[in-house]
Structure formats: C-alpha cells, structure tokens
Structure 1
Amino acid sequence: MSQLLTDSEKRRKLNNSNTDESGSEEDSSADEASGSDLESEAELENGEVDHHDGNAPAKAGVIEKLVLRNFMCHEFFELEFGPQLNFIIGRNGSGKSAILTGISVGLGAKAADTNRGTSMKKLIKDGKNTARISITLKNEGPEAYKRSTFGSHIIIERVLQRQGTNQYLIKSASGAIISKKKAIIDEILARFNITVDNPLAFLSQDKAREFITSTTDHSKYNYFMTGTLLSDILATYQSISKNIVEVNSKLTIAKQHLEAARRTYAKSTQVFNNFKRSDHLRRHLELLHGKIYWYNVSVFEKKIQKYRDNISSLEGNIRETESKISELTNKIESSKLEVPQLQANAEEARRQVSILNEEVHDAQEAYTKIRMAVSDVANEIKSEEHEIKSLKSEVKGLEKELETETSRSKDTIDSPSSLESKRLTLKELEGERDKLKALNDTFADPQNSAIMQIQRQITSAKESVQDMRRRKNEILAAQRDQYAPWGSSMAKVINAINSTNRWKEKPIGPIGYYVTLKSEYSEWKDLINAVLSQTLDSFLVSNEHDRRLLQQIFRQFRINKNIITRKFEEFSYESGKASEHVTFLDMLEISNRHVAFTLIDSNMIEKCVTTKDRRNANSLITQKNVLNVFSLLNAKSGHRSTGSNRSFRIDPIYYRNDLHKLSSGSASAADETRKIDERISEEQNNLSRLENQLREARIKFQNDKQNTEKRYREIQSQLRKLADEIFREENNVNDSNDSSRTETLKGRIQELENEINNKYGILDSLRQDIVKDKEKFVKAKLAVERKKEQMADCKKQKDDAEQEMVNMDGNISEMDAQMSQYEMKKEQHLSSINQFETKIQQGQERLQPLLADAEARCPRDKISIAETDTSETISQEYERTQQAVQEAEKTIGKSIQEIQDELLSNKESKEDAEKRVKNLTTISRALQADLNRRFDALHTTILRNTGESASSFERSLALRGFKGELKFNFAEETLTMMVQTKNDAQKRTTESLSGGEKSFTQIALLLAIWKMMDSKVRGLDEFDVFMDSVNRSISIKLLLNELRQYPKSQSIFITPQDIAVVGDLDSSDVRIHRMSDPRNSN
C-alpha cells in the first residue's frame, strides 16, 4: 500500500498554501444526498424506534419476489425469495440463470453487463415483442425509503420492447405508479446499498466460472480492487492529482504571459502619447498602396483569361478523343458480333476432330482386325502345309513298315514298360492341349480386359483435355465479364438491382464477388471454393420485403440463386475464433463487413482450421474453438476432419469443375490459365503414352495368340505321332503273328493319302481367302492413311479457329485497353477543365474582394499602370515613399491607426491574462484541498479493507482446518493467496492445490470481498461447477457459516446439483427453491 500511495502523498504536499479558499465537493454532495433521507429521519423522530434483533432479517432493501414475463426462456416465472439465504436448484436448461440476469436488468443493468448479448432485445423470448421484469423490494422499518409514499413494498418493473423504447415503472405497494425515472431507482438502490453495477455483486454463470477459475495473482488483485471499489477510488484520486499538476503548470505559464502583457501595454501607451506630423507623403503613399491593389487585380484578370484559353484548347482535345472512342466502340461491337460465329466455328472444328478421332480409331481397329485375319490365314496355310508334310512322312514310314512286316522278328517288340511310358506322355499332352484350347478361346474375344482398360483411360484423358479447354475459355470469358462465374445473366441481374429504388436496404451479392483469397494461400483455392460454394453463390438481404423483390428479379432472368435473409448487424466473434491456427477467415480478404459476418454466422469460417499434414487433424479437432480441420489430398480433392462425442471422422471433398466463385484479379486469372495450359500439356503427354501402351498391348495380344496356336498345333502333331506309335506297339504285342497286320497298314496308308488330298483342297481355299484378305488389308490401310490426313487437316482447322478466337480476344482486349486509355485521357481533360473552371471560380471569388479593396483605396482612373510596371518596381517606389514617411515620423515609427489598434489589442490581452491567472489560482486551491481530504480517506480505506478481508479469508479456511494468508503487492498489482492444508508443513500458493481445494479458496476470497462490499443483495450462479461432492459440501457449509454473520443481507445461490446431502439446511434463514424445465410449464 505504501508503494501505491508514495507518489500520491508527494502530490498531496504540493501547494499546501493554496488550500485556504478551497470548497468541499464532498460536503456539497453530502448535503444533496441528505435531502433524499429527510423523510426516513422524520419517521425515526416520530417515534419509530429500531427494536430489531441483531440476527433478525432486514426489514428493508431485500427482494421478496421476482416475476418474469416473456423473458429469455420463460413465458411466465414467479419466485418468492427468503430474506437471507436462498438456494435455487435446477437442471441445465431449466432457466435458472435467467433469475440473476432478470434481477440485474430489472434494477437497471445494461445488456452488455449480463454476458447475454449486446441489446436488451436479445433477452426477449423468441416470438414475443415485449418482456416484463417485476421486482418487489421490502420497505419496512427505520431503513425504509419514503414509506409514506411507497408503503411496505416497492415494486420496480422494467418493460423491454423489440420496437420502441424500454421503460421503468416504480410502483407503490398498492400498485400505483409513483415514477418512471431511472434516477429514482438509483436513489432506492443507494438507500438500500444494493450495488448492481459492481461486477462481483451478482455473478452470472459466465462471471462465476471466470472468477472461480482465475489463476493469476494479477486477476485476483483486479477482482479485489473492483469488488471493494478501491480501483474507482484510486482512479479518482490519481485523476485529481494529475489535474493539479496540469493546472499549476498552466498557472505558471499564465503568470508569465501576464507580466509580458503588462510590459507591452505600457510601451503602447507611451508610443501613442508621442505621435505627430506629415500629410503630402502619406497621400502619395496611399495612391501607391492603391496602385499595388489595382496591379494585383490586373494580374488575376490575366490569369483568368489564360485559364479560359486552356479550357477552349482542352475542349477541342476532348472532341477529338470522343471521335476516337466512338470509332473504337464501333470496332469492338463489330468484333464482338463475330465472336459467336468464331466460337461456333471452333466448337464445330472440335466436334469434327472428335468425330474424325473416332473414325480414325474405328479405321485402325478395322485395319488391325484385317491384318490379324491375314496373319491368321497365313499361319493356317503354314499349319496345313506342315500337316501335309507330316502326313506324307507318316505315309512313307507306313510303306516302309509294310515292306518289312513279313520279316519282322518277335525280338523287335518293345517292352511293356516302354508302352506304359508312352501312354503317360500321351495323357500329359492331352491335358496341355485342353488348357491351350481354353486359352485360345479367350483370344477369340476381341475385348481384352487390359486393352479395354487402356482404352477407357484414353477416353478419360480426352474428356479431361476437353474439360480443361472449356474451362480455359470460360476463364477468358470471365476476364471480359466480372460476373461470369455466376452465370451469363448475372450482369443483367446486377444492373436490375442497381436500377431499382424500392429496396429498404440494397441487396449484397453475389457474396463471392466480395471475397478474395490471399495470394499466399492460393493452393487452398479449390478446397475453399468447394466448401463455401453454396454461400458464395448466394445473395444477402436484411428483410422479407427485399427478399421477395429480389426473387422477382431472379424469376425475370430465369436464374435460381439462394437468398440469405439476415439482419445487417455485427457481433464480436473473437472469443470463438480458433486464434492459434490458420482459419478460412485468416485466408480470405472480405471487402464487405456484412458478407464477413454472414460467412462467420453461416459457415463458421473462424472455426474452420487448415493443416497441410492430415495426420495433425486428430489432435487439432479436440482443441478449443476448432469445428472442422481441412487438408489437401491431390489436385481433385481434399479432406474434412470432424469430431464429436470422442469420435473422429474424415470425409472427402471433391473439387468443382466450374469457375471459382471467389473473386480474383486479372493476375490470378492469368495464373490459372497458365496452370490449365500446363495441365493440358501434361494430359496430352499422358494421352500419347497411353496410345503407345495400347499399340504395345495389341501387339502382345496378337503374339500371345499366335504362340498359343502354334503350340496347340505342335501338341496335336505330337499326339497323332504318339498315338500311332502306341497303336503299332500294341499291335506288335497282341498281334505279332496276326496276318491281318499287312491289311491294316495298307488301310492306314490309304486313309492318310485321302487326308492329304483333303488338306490340299483346304490349302487351295485358304490361298484364295488370303488373296481377298490382302486386298481388304490394302484398302483398310489406305482408309487409315486417308482418315489420318483428314484428321491432320481438321486439327489444323481447329487450331486455326482457336487461334483466331485467341487473336480476336487479344484484339478486343487491346481495343478495350486503348478505349480505357482514351477514356482516361478524356477524364484527365475533363478533370483539367474542372480544375481550370474551379480556378476561374476561385479567381473570380478572390478578384471580387480585391476589386472592392482596390476601389476602396482609390478609383481605377486615378491609377496608371504602365507596361513596364511590375510588382517589384511598384514595391520599390512604395518603399522609397514609405522611407520618406518614416524619416518624417522616425521619432515614432508607426502610423496613428497602427498605434491605436495596437494599444487596444494590448489592453485586451492584459485583461484576459489577469482573468486567466485568477481563475487558475482558484481552481488549483480547490483541487489541492479536495486531494488532501481524499488521501486521508483512501489511506484509511485501504488499511481497513485489506486487514478485514485477510481476517475473513483466514476465518473461512479455518472452517476446513486450513490456514491462509492474503499477500497484497500494490506496486506489482498482485494478490497472492497462501494456503496451508492439514498435510502441509508450510503455506503454499493455490496453483498446487487440487481443483476442489482451489475452488474452495476462491469461494473464501469471494466471501472476503463480499464482506468489504457490504451489499444488501448478492447473487452467485453455478459456484460449484468445478467441485467434487466433498469440496462442494464444505463450500456450502462455509457459505452458510460466513453469511449467517450478516443477517441483514440477502444471498442468492444457483446450482444445477442437489444440496440435500448438506446438513443444517432446515433452518428458518435458508430457503431452497427447485425449478422445473420452463418448456414443460409454459
């Protein structure tokens, strides 16, 4: 405390000698205040003596009943309070927090003090236009306020209205309206010592949590200083000290000015008394003076004429510029008329290219099929020739076997084991043949899966290139029309909106027009456009009339846009912003504040956090004020991460292919078209790569097919040969002595010769087929080449058409630029003309007083201004004449008029300085006297408040067996709470206590502040929200124990939890109220 008052005590000792004439503002205030208490004192004098018991409740100043109508969540709510301790119990959503808010507002608090909104209208129940708060105060006993007027009760009623002015009604016990003035309520509250404006008198839900969870010593110091009103007293003291220093500084300067003014006035008096002489030189000097004025008039007239000549020249330049503008306008209009045809030509060329591309693809398919057919026939011819050769070889072998059959010996018969081995080989070859046959059947299907997949990729790549080219054309079109992203009719809609004068408040939109992405966050543009697209495509109005009118305009132009109806009001969103991370709000530049608050209200962009690493989303989503976490995935999509009820979810966000609804400049559009060109180039390279893969896949398919067929024929040949060998060996084994063997061999030879003749017939047919297929092959090859030539020509036409469009766009842009330059030049000329006209007007205005002054000096015909006259020559002649006058009057040095003017001016200055010194001296003495009285009162108040609050704090902790201490440091503005629990060897700060113990010590601190506050009525909402059952029970006992020491005060506690487990609640001074859900009762 001594550190806090050191500087103040020094200022108190300044200028003690000036305190004699000071007046007492406090005495005056006391006299005024005493007038309001005359009636109560009269009642005491008339014999009404205070016989109240020391522990009896107060007879005046306590709240008996609270009635809420259409207030917050209550349609009708009535509650009768006990005169001392009140506990209000209700579940979350029962509307219990409305009780303290209703008391505060009913007794005159502002909406901002309730933490329930910035306007009283926010406190009116939804769907209602009027809310009423009625508070009944007890008004009996010696402390009653004007009992003869109000009776035993005072009813204060506050009416809140959505439309119109809120009002107060102050009624007597009988219901008669006594007054409607807020000043009367202030008198009543002062009489009963009810401090509504003290933030610790009625702690709402938010304020209570803030106080209970306050951790810093500085915040505790501020709560103590504010609650005990020491901060207000100290601020007033310091303000008076500062005013004294300023007044004394001004007084010193004023005294210096007074001395200087007195000396100057004495000199002027002396000069005036010494004035004499001379007349001819003065008249000539007056003519020269007039000549100077008329010369200035002539100079201004020449300048004005010069400005008029410049205006004529500029008007000629404007006519020439307008002619060029008209010529360019005609050219631009003519060029724009050609644009649709060029667009149609380019689109037709692109369509022809697409058709020819399909035809080339079909021709290549046909060519490939014919080439494969020719190859198949050629392979089949080779196969047949190979089989004929095999059959002939087999015939020769049989003929040789026939020759040697008769001489064959039994020794030549193979062993049974060799025969069995050949049978196994035969079975294996038959299995391989069946597999090859099945594989060969798959080659019969031309729609190979790998080839089809590549073809689908090629189709997708071609469609992607077409989409990107279309998007590029849309971006180029958007450069000519700033509203292009919202449709071709949007510019007409905007013109219709601007031309209509029936709006109550002009609509804002499209919203995306006012929103721009900051350049450093350009990579997020696709994602933000996808997330906010619906809102960016919307319009904003403030009332239903404007919404209907805007909807009519939409129907007129056949567009369908969303309309957001929202009052154009602002609110504070900083407390709900995810300030530790980069949000959508940080990334965007929003040029209209109503658009900004709409995006915050509708899309909560201040809670949408971005991260480049999706793995961080899980931890970010759990942090304060984070609603969604967005991350990038690839060029076509991103991720949205959300979390609720300990669950975590990731959803994909696919980017839109239309134009961005975010506003962007020409530089951004150029950058986007450059990126699209790069992507087109990449996609075309990918298309070339896929076409090469398709050719390679078809070649591989054909080679695999040929190899399979070749292997199948080889196995067939091996099977026939092996079957013959087995047949021969079986015959050798079983029929070695059979004479029919020769006949069998002859029959087999004949069969083979017949088969050879058949093969020759098939071979002739195949050779005829291959001749026909080769003719088709040549025709198909020529068709492919012709289609490719047509494709090249069509592509050239398409490129020429697109280039022609680009050239046309360039020409139009160039002409637009030239038009802008000419318009700018015209504006410059018009601006110059306006400047010259302004200068002419200003010259005329300045010329008129010059003419008046010159004519006042002398007539113009009395003055002769030669061509050789200049301001210098006239001034020189004037100086020479003036010097002659000065020589004649050198004893004085000034004219009589100058001396007279100077004398009067110096006299006024002296008198003003004397008055200022007298006033400042009086103010300084009065302030110094008041400061001395306030210093003594402040010193005593601080000592009493700190001492008694420390004692109360220690007494509260002792209830639990703790020891405590409050340490004040006024220099550092800190309040440290030291606590020693039963298990501690020494005291420690509250930061190391458990959550329940810490909340208990905060309650003890609040009780110490309440003791100093000495307010008649106090309230606390959800004081036990951070306590366990043990600490909560002890805290309630503490409240009961401490507050029973002040039976004349009324306390209101609100809790969502039952307090039945706490003892000593059945006393007459405790009243428990249980609330039900207002939605069930309304």
Structure 2
Amino acid sequence: MAKRRVNSGSDDENSPSQSETPASKRAKTHQNGVQPSSSKDKGKNKATDIEIEIGDGEHQSDVEEETPVNKVTQEDQEADEEKFEQEHGDKIRQSLDAKRQTQGGVAEHGIIESVELNQFMCHKLLTFQFGPQINFIIGKTFCGKSAVLSAIAVALGGKANSTGRGSGIKSFIKEGQSCAEVTISIKNQGDEAYKPKEYGKSIVITRRFTKDGQTSWKIKSKDNRVVSTKREELAAICDHMNIQVDNPLNILTQDAARQFLSASHPSDKYKFFLKGTQLQQLSEEYDLCYEHINQTAKVLARKREAIPDLRSSLREATARYEEANRAREQKKRADELTKELAWAHVKTKEQEVVQKEEDLAKLNHKLPKIEKELLDARAAFEVVTDEIAKLEQDFRALGNMNDMNEQKQDLQKAMRENKVRRQQLNSDLQQMDISMKQLENQVLGYEKQIQEEALRMEKHTHAKREEAQRSLEQARQAVAAADSLKDQLGTERRELEQANLTLSNSFREDDMRVNELRDSVQRCQSIIEQCKQNDNDKYVAYGKHIKVLLDKIKTMRWHGEPPLGPLGIHVNAKEPEKWGNVLRYHLAQFLTAFAVTDARDRPVLKKMLNDSGNQNTLIVIYERDMFDFSRGELPEHVLTVHRALRVTDDYVLRILVNLAQIERIALAQTRREGDHTLRELRGGQAWTSDGFLVRVFPEGGVSSTKLDNMARGNALLLTGRDTDAEIQHHTMEMRRFEEELVAATSALSQKKKEWNDRKAQIDELQKRHRAAEDALRKAKNELNRLQQDANEALPANLAALEAAKQEAKQEQESIRAQFQAAMAQKATLEEENSKLTEQFNSIKKHLDGFHHQQSDIKSQIETLAEKRQIQKNNSDHFQNKLNEDMRKVEIAEQAAKVVQEEFTNWRQQALEICEPVENPRSVEVVQRQLESVKNALKEREKRHGASVEDMVVEVNRAKAKLDAVEKELKQMSALNKALKKSLTMRLARWQEFRRHIALRTKLVFQYNLSHRGYFGKILFHHENQTLQLKVQTDDQIATQGTRDKDPRSLSGGEKSFSTICLLLSLWESIGCPLRCLDEFDVFMDPINRRVSMAMMIDSAKGSDKKQYILITPQDMTSITPSNTVRVHRMPDPDRNQGVLRFGS
C-alpha cells in the first residue's frame, strides 16, 4: 500500500484549509475496478471497456472507439462477492486466529516516546512519556486531555483545522501568551531507522508558532543537536515511518470520534473506509493517469493526420531533385575544389601557427635573462641597504655633541666676558697709576710746607705733639691688629669652604656610584631570571619564540640554502668577563641576525620573524664563499675583535668580517690605551672597556665618543658558560655589588656627616669674622678721632697743611689698595683665561674630530644612497621590463593559442568535409577555379529555380521529417498502449485490494461483536459507495429471532460498541504505527465500556509494532498497568482559570 505524503501546506491563518492539488484528490471507486471519468457517475462498470491502441503499420486506424460492455447486475455482483468470501474467508480467519495467539512486538521506529506542550491551549507546561504499545490518557472534564492529540498532529505537520480545535495554528496558543511550542520524540531504532548516524536512536521534533502566524520547526537528534529546520525533512521522516498524520483513522480527534460514532449515513462510513485505507488516494491517482492516457491518444490521432501531407512533400522534393541530377557531375567538380580549398586554408593556418610559435619561443628565451638581471639588481639593492644600515648604526653610535657644543658656547661666552673684564681692569690700572703719581707730588709739596712751618713752631709745641704722636701710633697699631685678625678669620673660612666644596663634589660622585651599584644588582637579578628561562629555552637570548621559528624553518622549502641563524649561537667570547660588555654592545644586532643565500628567501623569512614578534631582527644576504681575510687583519700583537671571539662556523665568521669588520677593530682597556695603540697603527678604530669608541684618522685627527650604558646588551650573549655556571657567576657578582653598595653607602653617610660638621665650623668663623670687622671699624674711628684732635692742636695753617697731606696719603693708600686688588684680579683673570682657552681648544679639537667623522660617514651614506637609488632604478627597470615582456609572452601565447585553436577547428571542419588533400594549391588559385564552376552552376540554377544543394537538402529534410513523425508516432503509440495495459492491471489489483480489505474488515467486525454475544455483518455496496452495519444483540436474538437490527435502532451504548468494533476492524487494514482515539466510550454503558476496553487492549497487544493512544474521561481503575499498558492521569483543572476554550 502506498505511503501517504505529509501535506506540505502551511497552517498559517491565511493558508487554505485544504490542498486542491490533483495528487491529493480522493475519487470514488466503483465495482469491477472501474476508473471513473470526470462526470458525476464516472464510467461505472468500465473496468476493461476502454482501450487506446495505435497500430504499428502506416495504414492502421486511429484511436479505437470505446465499445460498451454489458453491465453487471446486482445479483451477479452479490454472487461474486459470496464466492470470493468462500474462497478467502477461511484463510483470513486462520491468519486472524494465529495473530490473536501471539503477542505483538514492540515497534523499533515510528512510535512516539514523549510529548511536551509549552503554552499550548490550556497547558503552561505538560510532558508525557508514552509506552511502546497501549497508552490511556485519563482525567476530569476540562483538564485538557484532547490537547495531547492536537499537539501530536500539529508537531507532525498536520493542519490546524484537521484537529477540529481551531481554524489556524495561532488559536492553539494559550491566552495571554505570544507563542507556543510543541516537542515530540519519535523512536528511531532498528534496521529501518531514518538516518541513524545523524539522528541516533530518537528524533526530536519541535514546532514553535507565534501570535502573528509565524511557525518554525527544529528537527533534532537524540543529543539535542539541530539537524534540520525544513518541513520537507519532516515529510521525509513521516513517509519513511509510514506516519499518516492527516488520515482520519490514525488520529481520531474528539470531534472526528463523535462524528464517526454518531454518523448514521452509510455513505459517510464508506468515505471513512476509503480514506482510512488510502484506497481513495490510489483511486484518484489512477484517475489522473487515465486522463493523461486519453489526452496522449488524442495528440497521436492529430499527428497521424499529418503523415499523408509529409509523404506528398517528399514525392515533390524527390521529383525536383531527379530533374536537377544532370548537374551532378559539375557539382562533383565543385565539391572537389571546395575540398581542396578547405585544405588550402588549413595549410595557410598551419604556417601561421609555426610563425606564432617561433615568435613565442623568442620571447620566452629572453625572460630568464631578465629575471636573472632583476634578481641581481635586487640582491645588490639589499647589499647596499645593509651597508647603509650598518653606517647608520655607526652614525648613531657616534652619539651627539650637544653637551660639548653647549660647553663650547659657554666657554666662548666666558672668554668674551673675561676679555671685557681684563680690558676694563687695564684701563683702571692706567688711571690708578696717573692718580698715584699726582698724589705723590701733592704729598711732597705738603711735607715741605709743613717742615717749614714746624721749624717756626717747634719750640712752643714739641712736648704736646709727642704725646699726640704716641696716641696716634697706638691707634694705628690697634687698627693693624684688628685688620690682621679679620684677614686671618677670612682665610680660615675660605679654606673650610673650599674643603667642603671638594667634599661635596666627592660625595656626589659617591652618590652616583651608589646608584650604579644598585643598577648593577638589579641587572644581575634580571640576568639570573633570564638564565632560569634559558634553562628551558637556550634561544631566549636571541629573541621571541626562536625555537619554534627554527623548527618551522626546518620544515619549509627554500630557494637557496636554509637560513643560517641566529648567528650568535656560533659565537662566544674568549674572555667574557673582560670584554663581554663592549662586544655585546657593538655586536648585539649581528648576533641575533639571520642570513640567507638567496634574495627571494628574504621576504619569507622577514614575514616569519615579524609574525613571531622579532620585527627588528636583521636579515643578511651572504654567499657561501670561504674567502681569505687575513690581509686585512691588524698585527698579531694587537688584540682585535676577531681574536677575542671564538666562532664555530666559518660562514658566520665571514659574515661578521663583512658586516662588522671584526678583523680591523682593536680592543683596549682604556681610552688612553686605545688612542696609543691606534697612533702606533697610524689610524683605525678601537673599542674600549671603559666605554669609548676611539678613532684615529690617517691625517692625524682623533675622535673618542663616550658610549651610553655599556651594559645594555643581553648578558647571556658571548658568555661561553652554561646556564648553571652563568647563574653562579652572576650570583657572586650580585653579592659583590651588594657588599660594595653597603660600603659605598656607609662612606657616603660618613662624608655627609663630615660636611655637616665643617659647615658648622664655617658658620662659627663667619660670626667671628663679622665681630672682627666691627672691631676694625671701631679702631679706625678712634684713629680718625685722635688724628683730628692732633690736627686741631696745631696752628691753623699747619693744621690745614697736615690735613691736606693726610687726605692725600689716605687717598694714596686707597688707590694703592685698589691697585693691589686690581692686580690680583688681573692675575686671576689671566689664569682663568688660560684655562678657558685650554678647555676651548680641547673641545674644539674633539668637535672637529667628531664633525670630521660625521662628515665622513654622511659622505659614505650619501654615496651608498646614490648607489642604492641606482640599484632601485635598475630593479624597477628590470621589473617593468619583465612585466612588459611577460605581457608580450601572454599576448603571444594567447595569439598562438587562438591560431592553434583556429587551425584545429579548421582542420576538424576540413576533415568533416573530406580526407586530407596532399599538397593543396594556394588559396587564390583554387578560389578562382571554384568561382568559375559556381558561376556555371548558378546559370543552371536560374533555369531550374534552385541549386542542387538546396534540392538535396529539401529531399533529406522531407524524408527525415516523415521518418521522425512515423517513428515518434509508433513509439508513443506503443508507450500509450503499454500504459493503458499497466493501468488496467493496476485497476484490477486495486479492486482486489478493496475486496480483501472489505472481507478482512467484515470478519474482524463479526469477531469483535462476538465479545458481547452480538452478531452482525458489514454490507459493502461499492457500486453505491455505501457501508451498512447490521447488528443483532443478545436480547434481540431471544425476542426477534435472526432478524438483523439497524444501528439507528440500537441504544447509545450498543451503537458506540458497534462503531468501536468497526473502528478496530478498519485499524487492522492500515499500516500506520500510530492509533490515536479521543473519547471512544462517551456513549457507552459500563458493560459495553468494559468489554470494549478489554477488546481494544487485546487487539492492541496482538498488533505487531503498533502504538495506541486512547483518551477517556472515565476512571480506569479496572485496567491494570503493565509493560504493555500504561495509564497517564491528567492533573485536575485549575478552577480559577475558567472554562477552556475548546473543552477536553
């Protein structure tokens, strides 16, 4: 029996309630396998009375007319049915008896394992786990039992209106909610499981729908993984498992059950019979085939009418051809010339192919040379770029002279100020000399006048003057003593201040030393941490993820040799404690570098370095050349960088010679030693351990540059020690630095204390100096008073002369003191100028050497930049030339390909015309002869109205058309006849199906009635499409004899029991694994309900691989749950929620 397809129509609100496609129609079936026509009484009694035959011969008649056959009488039909029942009844009864004696097996696929309702109808959340055979769902009225069957139908793709619960899918959503969801789990086991690898042992189907009519499916595996969201997949699952969700007998909803139970008209029962057994679907499909066969027969009849016209056209064309056959010889000559012309064109095209291939070969021959020149230019560009990078590094290593330039400017300013001050001082000294001479003359004049005046007054004032002179002398001595004390205190204070200044400079140096020691301790700690990391990764000193990078380099294919690096793994210092810092400072970027032999490998390696976080790693292009560099080495007694290193790879050694010139650079402990060594060598470059880059130029210039932070290099490079030794070494170094730090910190504290003590002494001397200055001032005031008293005692004339003399002497003493101070200041300025000049000359010498060095490097960089630009231009030139020639090659290849294809096509076309012609003449010669013959043929064509070719074509076309029509007509007639025969056989088989199903239904119905002691039968009238039940109850047998009772006269319980018997009979004839029935016992009395229940349970147990879901509002206390029978009780309805919209 054909499987029912799941309807793919939508359950949206706007979709039609039923599909009207031809494949889904149900047609009436009739006695004797009749396939009805489109009229209302579609061809009754016409199972074999219509044949469509198209003969194979040319003159066979068209479609045979339908010939009526004698109608079969009702009596004949009943006799035939009785005969059929006698022949097959016993066999069917035996099979039913055997089936009842065996227990039905559990289905491995196609049955429902569980169902879950979320916001569906009256349920917020409801879940059931179904048994594999019999499931009773019980509960009080209005508890929502019927929602379970509606949910099953909706989840399996059934239409909303087929459930009888609403016109659209959104009517199933619980009030107040925006969406609902139904999930159903279908068993999927056994050999016939559906896609078991994708879904597993269960298929979970979830349908979600919203208030706005949107709906979606999720078809998931047992582990809840979504496999599909398409409805077509659901249809395929239902087809595979023979689940017929829209079959009214498979899922008999509450309304459908009531209709089935209460339906009294025989035609309604017959419709249920046809729909449930799918005979109606099969009948309609046969009806559609019948209509197609008839339409095909009509088309074939119309085609047969055109055959005489085609034959007449062929005869006319043949007559015209025979009339023009006389021109065939001349046409033959034209054909031969046409063949020769075709091969002449082929030969011309072949020559063109040879020429194109020669042109392409010439262009291809030039490409390798251009590619080599491009690679050479790129390699040269990279070499020059690396040289410029090295020079730029040297330029950066020079540092800058900003501090020295600032010192030079400060010295120039100080020298200018010193010069101005000396010039001003010389002018003051000259003026002082003139004043002294004038004052000396004045004093001599005053003394002479005083002597003359004193002689006159000596006898009167001698004793008094002597007393005054003694007082003045004592006052002068007091002034001298006070002045001497002041000078002594000032000298002591200045000495202490100078000592404190020296001490302050000293502890600033000590403070710097303390900071350096702290940095050294931290550096040792950092190195120890790096050593611990290096214990796990020996490449940690050379960059990030170098070990992973080296492993990746080994697995790749390179144009040249595999990249060499990091170079530092092949280099160690012979004396790392002595030279490690200076070598690491200058060689760090080369020790972490990689080297390749082919410039094409450089971009790939650069990308790998960038990806691993080593963007600044240098890549060198080198040649594997073991050149001799001994000529460039310094004398053997000079320690060079090369001699201080131990290089285990000869190629790495030569790379360092090329990049860093390690054979030409000397090493020295101090700047002075390096300068001395280079002067002996008459020029060169040296690196010193005290942090200087020293250069001596052949022309005599010297440059020394202080290097910043000599210890900045990675301390793990060039050590030559293993990790444990390195940790031990730097641990000891850290302890030594810590001890020195403690000592330096203590010395610094002691010096600060000494400075503070001396500062207190300076403050005390400052107070005493101010007191001495006060005493000196008082002594001078006393001297001036005594001098004034002495002057007042003298006569007025003599006093005036003495006062003038004293004033002149005081002025003279003042100028003398100023002169001495000026001379001392001049000496100081001269000494200061000498020191400034010496410093200025030294700085100028260093700056000149630095600028000379800078200028030399800049000149080299400019020269190399020009060279690099030239190489860049060369590279661009060759790249453009290569691109241009490649475009030419591409164009030439395309042209050659086109010509070759034309040659191939022309040759193929020529072969279709004829075999190759040896040594064809030129195209021009053959063309002239062919035109001459064609002109002659055209003259003949004018007389006959058509060319020979046209006539041949016309004859062939007419014959081919006639043959094609006759062949197609013959084939289609045979096909249509075969289809008709096949349809007749299928109609006969359909009738057999119907008779067997009807007989099986009758016998099972009688057996089911016998459970109550009833007797009955089913009367099938296929001609009238009716199904009638005749039932005789036990009391009727006692009172009315054997007369059958019409079901309408039965009581409600008897009628329901009879209908249940009919339903169970029909279930025996369908193949769907599901049997769902809602409220089957609604009209039954207790006795009929008990018997019906037992009968249904026995029927279900005997059914093989079928699952039953039965809903009843009754209490199933009489049913004992078991492995095959499971009772599911619905929770009582919530009384606060009101009446459900659809009831239960």
> TM tier, shorter chain?
0.3 to 0.5
The structure having more radius of gyration, on CA atoms, is 2
TM-score, normalization by structure 2: 0.34
TM-score, normalization by structure 1: 0.36
